[in-house]
């Protein structure tokens, strides 16, 4: 388990922060998430790859640009999105990262069926483009909050995209909660995990572990630190038990390094402790 970390001070500093906070996994941006500029070649890439291996980071995750919408009815936006995702898959691979989380996007008003078709096509095309450029990370699709014309707020649609495009998925717990999956009631996390297994089988690659700022079924995004939102701490323990072995990264609000490290420790306690070493089996 780990969290999203800044890279503004350089990737060596990112790794140092990961180690200080007790992260076993991490997530970063490999480019400006709010702009179309391609990822830049980093002179600290080799040091990052070696450093992540040395401290045992697994998985390493990148979050794709927020601008990407592979499901858009606009051809120009879809083309930009496919090329941007392909570039980020390559950039993440060059940093030794395993996964790139991409939002499912929006159908733009002409229906879920057409939107899903375009999303599947866009994922396939982005992987083709990335495959021609050297080693690439794996694209995983994230569930949405279901606001407006957003796709993949239900596990069934997320599962359809997963099967048709041959991709795995990232499940954001705050998104799932505000989309109507009740993680707050006793027994709820176990039922949500069962729904996930039924819809996706073994295709859940990652959890975005975020507490929810907004109400169940509100379709409004917003993250809180684990234990400070609308999902009680007991729910997390139940969810971890129902989804053993699924890695997670938190995207909860930054506070002080000490507070962020305490959140990592809190989640480890809720999950039953640290990752086992090879010597422990």
* Measured distance CA(165)–CA(123) in Å, rounded: 7
Q: How far is CA 265 from CA 12, 82, 156, 270, in A?
A: 22, 38, 33, 9
Give percent above pLDDT 90 in the chain.
93
Beta carbons of 25 and 47 less than 8 angstroms apart = no
Q: Which residue has the tokens 């048709």?
A: 164
pLDDT bucket at 273, cuts 50 / 70 / 90 = low
Domain assignments of the chain as residue spans, ordered by start = 2-21+30-270
Nearest 10 degrees: Cα torsion 85, 91, 95, 99: 10
Q: Kindly state the tokens that stand for 92.
A: 């993440």
Phi, psi of 241 (to 5 degrees): -65, -30
Residues 175-181 have a mean pLDDT of: 98
pLDDT surpasses 60 at 274 = no
* Measured distance CA(99)–CA(61) in Å, rounded: 5
30-63 confidence digits (pLDDT tens): 999 999 999 999 999 999 999 999 999 999 999 9
Instruction: Give the pTM.
Output: 0.95
2-29 confidence digits (pLDDT tens): 999 999 999 999 999 999 999 999 999 9
CATH architecture of 2-21+30-270: Alpha-Beta Barrel (3.20)
pLDDT, residue 98, reads: 97
pLDDT surpasses 90 at 278 = no
93-128 confidence digits (pLDDT tens): 999 999 999 999 999 999 999 999 999 999 999 999
Q: Kindly state the tokens that stand for 185.
A: 């009631």
Q: What letter would DSSP give residue 76?
A: H
The residues, any chain, with a CB within 8 Å of residue 107's CB and separated by 6 or more, are: 71, 73, 114, 115, 116, 118, 149, 151
């Amino acid at each position: 388990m780990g969290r999203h970390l800044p890279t503004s001070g350089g990737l060596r500093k990112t790794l140092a922060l990961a180690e200080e906070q007790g992260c076993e996994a991490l997530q970063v941006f490999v480019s400006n998430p709010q702009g179309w500029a391609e990822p830049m070649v980093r002179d600290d890439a080799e040091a990052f790859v070696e450093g992540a291996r040395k401290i045992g980071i697994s998985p390493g995750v990148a979050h794709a640009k927020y601008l990407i919408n592979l499901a858009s009815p606009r051809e120009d936006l879809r083309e930009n999105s496919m090329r941007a995702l392909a570039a980020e898959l390559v950039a993440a691979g060059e940093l030794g990262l395993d996964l790139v989380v991409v939002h499912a996007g929006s159908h733009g008003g002409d229906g879920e069926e057409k939107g899903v078709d375009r999303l599947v096509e866009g994922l396939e095309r982005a992987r083709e483009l990335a495959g021609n450029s050297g080693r690439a990370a794996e694209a995983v699709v994230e569930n949405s909050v279901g606001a407006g014309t957003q796709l993949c707020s239900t596990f069934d649609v997320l599962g359809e995209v997963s099967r048709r495009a041959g991709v795995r998925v990232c499940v954001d717990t705050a998104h799932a909660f505000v989309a109507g999956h009740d993680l707050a009631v006793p027994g709820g996390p176990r039922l949500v995990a069962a729904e996930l297994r039924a819809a996706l089988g073994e295709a859940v690659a990652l959890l975005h572990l975020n507490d929810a700022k907004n109400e169940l079924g509100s379709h409004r995004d917003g993250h809180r630190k684990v234990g400070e939102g609308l999902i009680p701490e007991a729910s997390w323990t139940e969810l971890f038990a129902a989804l053993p072995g699924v890695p997670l990264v938190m995207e909860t609000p930054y506070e002080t390094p000490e507070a962020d490290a305490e959140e990592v420790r809190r989640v480890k306690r809720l999950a039953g402790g640290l990752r086992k070493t090879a010597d422990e089996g």
